[in-house]
Chain A
């Protein structure tokens, strides 16, 4: 792994040594989602210079050296940020040798960095970029006897070796059914482990004469949890059952600095006021409406609408779907939140600006001086029939080709080539 790291570093250094000359762009006549107080601007022209938004207006004149992109009234939006995924940690889910999502036989947990596992060249990165996602939160999963999955990261989807934006962005905690089974078999055991771990971090380093002196954590893992205890790094806690969510509210009052983001919260609507009051954030999947387990017997389609009404701070994920490792369907999940009653702008913010704020990424607002991370769409981005026609991350044009489009082009029935497929 260290070889890989130093390789990354050397690439990074060479990039600094030889700055690329940024192409400037002029996007004409866009339906621009600004994610700012300006809302949606129709007939917007956008000038992008040196990777940044230089000017927004109507009837602007294209700079001579800028590449001209006709939006023709189509949507232009900030890039999407998938608030939860396992992108780049796995090639083929069922093939253990390709799957770095969790490490069930390891003796450590929190101190393991998913960024060491992250592979920006996994084909799912380009496949997901193609559907409009420019950034993603990438999380490991808890396994073995631990409720902790380790530290997650945030990356952009350029597919470049330097695409990690935050190496240690949060710590993942598994409660609910899986958390209880990891920790010994009951919610009593999972909460004991969680509180003991937080106490170990609080007592670090004094408690640790030896590497295994903690009640729940090794010295390394306790050291890694300190930032979260101090609120300098969020804890993503997977949990769905209303009563367990109230336990988390209590946890927050016992450890006041924790920045808690609950993943799932299928029954969140039942305790929405408590979550709002405790300022516990929620990562919700608007497709979850079945009693998939006894942790989510009261899941309902308008969960996100009710959370919104109660003033809970939330992002939208596709975490309940089979495809969580690849946030391909993020826009569909956000779109269905709208179909079930959520305001479009709120749903869109929940997959762009809100996760940016939560994880300390640059604002996704499209305004003068901001980095040009934009997607040009052929329709409403939250409609399942829409797709990007162009994408830029920090002003740099991104390919919308991927292994999937290569397969598509080879086998397209519209393809007139009659040679054997391997020559096409």
Chain B
């Protein structure tokens, strides 16, 4: 339905331009092209045909192979299974060690709250108005954040950078390949949909309570609804077009949400609040793709399932603010067991380095509480579900033939404290190799320590 509406809109705008008598060259200047400002220039490093054999593979679809091979050709997964083989320039004997999809973190502020955490680096939240849907996280991302390099060594191959949560509408999020680059454009996941950050609860009302509001949860909800009504009006004007039509960056993002082009990623802790938000989404006919933090998601797993809305959660953070007081150690597995789409997220430059441990913790606690979830199933919280919630599951998140070869080879069972990534591949290219010391080093790190 939403896709159909989008297709119709694009067709209509092309017809309109054609009617103006422009030549075919200028005819390409459609709304779509305007949206390609800051286009991805990502290109992976060169890769070789690589065969990883004798691996214990968790593929992200819920399957685990005890002893299988994985063939990577032209940066893609070419074959997987006990008999997978082929002519390879490089053969790696995993000797029974684990191979998994690269980890995807759906909630990171690397680059927009980079280390060192000096004041000048606070580029992650436009704390000037409760409505800042016109800002884009990527415009605040510093590609030299040393945190990217450390996250890579923790097995993170794709990550999503979101604006902060002071605003009701915080701005656009961006999905990045975790690769070294001089520009953020060089990291942008090609054609990944944009997202929009929204926030519930304490943050917007705390930050804006003394600055014109919202000052309460009531004000929050009124603020969402007022602006969705504006966006509907803008949508109609945009459809109509004409000479008088002027783009409004703030409403453009909201209208694109209403048209299903931009995915809503919403910071929300409390169960009752999430249920209210789902009602607002129905009122204005948009979709909440993911609730982030969702510390009380375990109370409404069934409702999340009904609405096909995911929850991105921590393993054990709680109690730092009132809306996080009811956090439990089994949140992720409980949401999963209710049949909803559950995943881990970091929201933290340290946590992102060991998301496998965060999953291992919460997985073990879930099973201890009486669930029976396999490791292969729990792995979905690390790559499959984040890929789904970012609209990139067709390309990555699982080890299936034809997908991008984003892969981690582990020293040990990743569901332990002691396992470390040994090799990390992105699009089939080796970006981290513990054995040879291959790893990226931020400009910031230069000139410290012993000079050679």
Interface string of A380-400 (1 = CB under 8 A from B): 001111110000000000000
Tell me which residues across on chain A come within 8 A of B11, comparing CB atoms: none
Contact A413 B321 (CB under 8 A): no
Tell me which residues across on chain B come within 8 A of A127, comparing CB atoms: 318
Is B16's beta carbon under 8 Å from chain A?
no
Tell me which residues across on chain B come within 8 A of A329, comparing CB atoms: 316
| A92 in complex: contacting residue of B321, B371, B416, CB < 8 Å | B321
CA distance A297 to B146 in the complex (A): 10
Q: Known: A290-B115, A339-B418, A339-B420. Contact between A414 and B337, CB under 8 A? A: yes
CB distance from B364 to the nearest CB of A (A): 4
Q: Known: A92-B325, A290-B350. Contact between A408 and B369, CB under 8 A? A: yes
Is B435's beta carbon under 8 Å from chain A?
no
Contact A384 B357 (CB under 8 A): yes
Is B35's beta carbon under 8 Å from chain A?
no
Interface string of A84-105 (1 = CB under 8 A from B): 0000000111110000000000
Tell me which residues across on chain A come within 8 A of B326, comparing CB atoms: 407
Chain A, interface residues (CB within 8 Å), range: 35 or more
Of all chain B residues, which has the CB nearest A95? B322
CA distance A292 to B115 in the complex (A): 5
Contact A385 B420 (CB under 8 A): no
CA distance A326 to B324 in the complex (A): 14
Tell me which residues across on chain B come within 8 A of A93, comparing CB atoms: 319-321
CA distance A386 to B368 in the complex (A): 10
Tell me which residues across on chain A come within 8 A of B319, comparing CB atoms: 91-93, 123-124, 325-326
The stretch of B37-45, B80-88, B219-227, B327-335 in contact with A is B327-335
Dominant secondary structure at the B interface: loop
CB distance from A414 to the nearest CB of B (A): 4
Contact B115 A291 (CB under 8 A): yes
CA distance A91 to B319 in the complex (A): 7
Tell me which residues across on chain B come within 8 A of A205, comparing CB atoms: none
CB distance from A13 to the nearest CB of B (A): 33
Tell me which residues across on chain A come within 8 A of B299, comparing CB atoms: 411, 421
Is A287's beta carbon under 8 Å from chain B?
yes
- A-binding residues in B (CB < 8 A): 115-118, 146-147, 150, 202, 298-299, 301, 316-322, 325-330, 334, 337-338, 348-350, 353-354, 357, 360-361, 363-365, 368-371, 415-420, 444-445, 448-449
15 contacts between A and B (CB under 8 A): A93-B321, A291-B444, A294-B116, A326-B319, A332-B357, A383-B417, A383-B418, A384-B357, A384-B361, A384-B417, A385-B361, A385-B415, A407-B328, A412-B330, A412-B370
Q: A322-B317, A407-B326, A413-B337 are in contact. List 13 more A-B contacts (CB 8 A).
A: A93-B319, A124-B319, A287-B350, A288-B350, A290-B349, A291-B445, A292-B116, A293-B115, A294-B116, A336-B354, A408-B329, A414-B370, A421-B299
